[in-house]
Structure 1
Amino acid sequence: MSHRAGRTRWRRFALILTPSVAACAALGIAMAQGALAASFLISGQRFQVNVDTLTIRGFSIYVMVDVTKKGERVPVMVTGARHATISGLCQSVPIDLPLLGPHTFKITGGDTRPATATNMFLDATTESVGQADFRDIDIGVAQGAITKGPIDPGDRNSRFFDPSGFGQQAVSATLTHVRVTAVAISAGTFNIPDLRLRIEKGHHECP
């Protein structure tokens, strides 16, 4: 009888946790199918992503609008990277579990060896960088004319994409002490050494 009750609790726990985990699964799984930022409806859950060092080959920034399953529109800054090397990765997602209260789902990795990603798109509402170094940068390029960095094909075909809108691109970029509030991350591949996932009681955002 106790075993049956335990299985029921775990099933309920999984159902509660699944939406939050899905919102950040792009960081926890090496994605082979090349999911695209605008090709799925976002949950609308904001999460924190902190990186010690982010090195990008093929860099782009442009403005888009993501849409939640409820139809809400969320303006985002999309940072694109053809290839990214990431050291000191931390992601934290606040979750509120019925009867248990506030918890934090946290992902860390890339400490002893850098994580790598290809065709990565980071949809963010806020970003801050301690130091940014660019090579061969263009600021004010039309979004539809960006070539040095990637544009998500799903975004390019979206009614929210403005080919004449403001964009930025560079052959390469090195960013340190990166702090991002994001609503979605997608990548063609995402390989994270020393991946660690855990749930902690209370609020424990990435430092």
Structure 2
Amino acid sequence: MRAPRLRPDRLAAWNGRMLAQAADGTVRRTRWTRSAAVLLPAALTVGGLGSALAHGVLAAGFNVTNTPFTLTSNGVSGTGFGAILNTPTVEAADGSTSTTTAMARVGFASAGLAGLCGIVHQSIAGLPYSLLLTAGQTVTATAPATFTTDISAANLYIEAPNLSAGGATTLQNAVLGMSADQVMVAGQSLTGAQAGGFGLGSAGSGPGGSTVNLSGLNASAHTAEIAGSLTLTGLNIRVVPGTATTC
């Protein structure tokens, strides 16, 4: 069955809401359905959104609270890189909020990814399920010695209490220990930046700013936002029973 076509005006409205929510700095929970019986129409809608994402139509936001989701890639190559330490407002399942979870907010003005694997664990009707989001090349368990990117994103942001690279990491034109409020990505300061807070930013104001190459990205993230365009191949979103650990 083909996914329903989404009208351009509705796509634009959805896109505007995503950008507005991303801008206010609150990490929101994903409201999953209580019954697996309604997953089919939801999957059809996701199929339509996936088609639009593949053509760079939408800003994409992916937010989960309580249980962070996993993002992995064979590698990330980015320009206009910046990072800060902050404590964002996190909304819990009961609607309460807190600002006690320290996270690194990392941004790229432009980024290329070597494949993408996203995993969210969730209980539906008391049973464990996993939502798997994959795109581009197959992400391997061991970081490759070299990688070639096949996904591109503009204004990519990740907020995570744990982000690591399994292989070599190179940074160029970067300043470690810059005041967080001075760190700029795509001409904007990072959400949650505080004067005097820890920051990793660019040493100069060159066209690309600082650059970074991460081999084998592995992030336990609360938020992944694409405030610009996203170009990818082979987008696949599926729900599988059990607690998946790989895509």
Q: TM-score, normalised by structure 2?
A: 0.64
Identity %, equivalent residues: 17
- Measured after TM superposition, the shift of residue 46 of structure 1 is 0.6
Which whole-Å CA distance do the structure 2 matches of 1:34 and 1:196 have between them? 17
Which whole-Å CA distance do the structure 2 matches of 1:121 and 1:9 have between them? 31
- Give the 3-state SS of the residue equivalent to 1:10 in structure 2: helix
If asked which structure has higher relative contact order (CA below 8 Å, sep 6+), I would say 1
Aligned residue in 1 for 2:168: 131
The 1:68–1:146 alpha-carbon spacing in structure 2 relative to 1, beyond 3 Å, is closer
Aligned residue in 1 for 2:229: 189
Are 1:142 and 1:164, in contact at CA under 8 Å, matched by a contact in 2? yes
Structure 1 residue 47 corresponds to structure 2 residue 86: no
Q: TM-score, normalised by structure 1?
A: 0.75
- Measured after TM superposition, the shift of residue 138 of structure 1 is 0.8
Aligned residue in 2 for 1:80: 107
| Equivalent position to 2:197, from 159, 162, 165 | 165
Measured on the aligned residues, the alpha-carbon RMSD in Å equals: 3.2
Which whole-Å CA distance do the structure 2 matches of 1:106 and 1:82 have between them? 26
Gaps of 5+ in 1: 1-7
The 1:34–1:204 alpha-carbon spacing in structure 2 relative to 1, beyond 3 Å, is closer
| Equivalent position to 2:124, from 79, 97, 100 | 97
Which whole-Å CA distance do the structure 1 matches of 2:170 and 2:134 have between them? 25
The 1:153–1:145 alpha-carbon spacing in structure 2 relative to 1, beyond 3 Å, is closer
User: Which structure has greater strand proportion?
Assistant: 1
Structure 1 residue 145 corresponds to structure 2 residue 179: no
Are 1:59 and 1:80, in contact at CA under 8 Å, matched by a contact in 2? yes
- Measured after TM superposition, the shift of residue 141 of structure 1 is 0.9
Greater shift, 102-111 or 62-71, is seen at: 62-71
Gaps of 5+ in 2: 1-34, 139-148, 203-209
The 1:34–1:198 alpha-carbon spacing in structure 2 relative to 1, beyond 3 Å, is closer
Are 2:61 and 2:223, in contact at CA under 8 Å, matched by a contact in 1? no
Greater shift, 195-204 or 68-77, is seen at: 68-77
Q: How many residues align?
A: 183
